[in-house]
Amino acid sequence: MIQNAPLSAQTVALRGRAEIAERTMEFRFAKPPGMTFKAGQYLDLTLLSPPETDDEGNSRSYSICAAPDDEELAIATRLRNSAFKRCLQKMPMGTGIQVEGPYGDFTLHRDPERPAVLLAGGIGVTPFRSMVRQYVHRGSTRRILLARDNPNFTFVPTMSRPEGSRLPWDGEVGRIEFDLITRHLRDGADDATSSPIFYIAGPPGMVGDLRAMLTDADVSEDDIRIEEFSGY
């Protein structure tokens, strides 16, 4: 269970935004005094008196992609033609936005001897970014199969349709398969790293497919954690 209680709604100021991938933007906000959260949790964001709105409303839930030790809050989102996202892209620096939270229990397990395998689809990588940043900050020796900022991390990007990319691609090609995961887990590992906890985040279809792949490979349901990202 998550021990930190959600704070009541607070207004925070927009401090920055930047395009971090094709049609994907990061937004940074001031961090409320006294706010704490666990890597992998999310916030509810509400626009205050926006210049436009639509049927989807003025509130959204976003995973926090900043680490708990970072000085600012940050979220990242794919850009699409909704009133909410148009307002986020256009609002002046310093504009206030309401935040509530943190919420959620999609957080890393406590046993550092068991590796974590983080399987992300699209913007589902955002809670994993928070997890990885935090473990880099704190110098953890936990083995994580996702990132390359630390010798204990392994970053394995794969693209199912590289021909559709504007940039050249020299990484893995194809969908995430169990053989791909186990091949990289074996690289430089010993027997102590043979029982990982799997975390899956992304669109519902992808999450369902990967969960089925793991259970078909006899991974216990107790060792699978999921977070679905709908309508991003």
Architecture of domain 116-228: 3-Layer(aba) Sandwich (3.40)
Domain borders along the chain are 7-103, 116-228
- What pLDDT sits at residue 80? 85
pTM above 0.85, yes or no: no
Q: For 133-170, write each residue's pLDDT tens digit.
A: 888 777 666 677 766 444 555 667 676 666 666 666 56
Other Cβ atoms closer than 10 A to 101:
21
Q: Please determine, for residue 208, whether its predicted confidence score (pLDDT) is greater than 50.
A: yes
Kindly tell me the burial class for residue 210, based on how many C-beta atoms sit within 10 Å of its own C-beta (0-12, 13-18, 19 or more). Answer: buried
Residue 48 tokens, joined? 């205050």
pLDDT at 193: 44
pLDDT of residue 172: 64
> In a 10 Å sphere around its CB, with 0-12 CB exposed, 13-18 middle and 19+ buried, how is residue 78 labelled?
middle
Q: What is the mean pLDDT of residues 207-211?
A: 92
CA distance 35 to 28: 15
Is residue 195's pLDDT more than 90? no
Chain center to CA of 133: 11
Identify the pLDDT of residue 55. 92
Say whether pLDDT at 75 is over 90.
yes
The CA–CA distances, whole Å, from 177 to 173, 184, 210 equal 11, 11, 8
Predicted confidence (pLDDT) at residue 1 exceeds the cutoff of 80:
no
Q: What is the topology classification, in CATH, of domain 7-103?
A: Elongation Factor Tu (Ef-tu); domain 3 (2.40.30)
The pLDDT score that the predictor gives to residue 91 is 96
pLDDT tens digits, residue range 26-44?
A: 999 999 988 999 999 999 9
Task: Give the per-residue pLDDT at 62.
Answer: 95
Q: Are 147 and 153 in contact (CB under 8 A)?
A: yes
Average of pLDDT values for 12-19? Answer: 96
Decide if 197 contacts 142 (C-beta within 8 A).
no
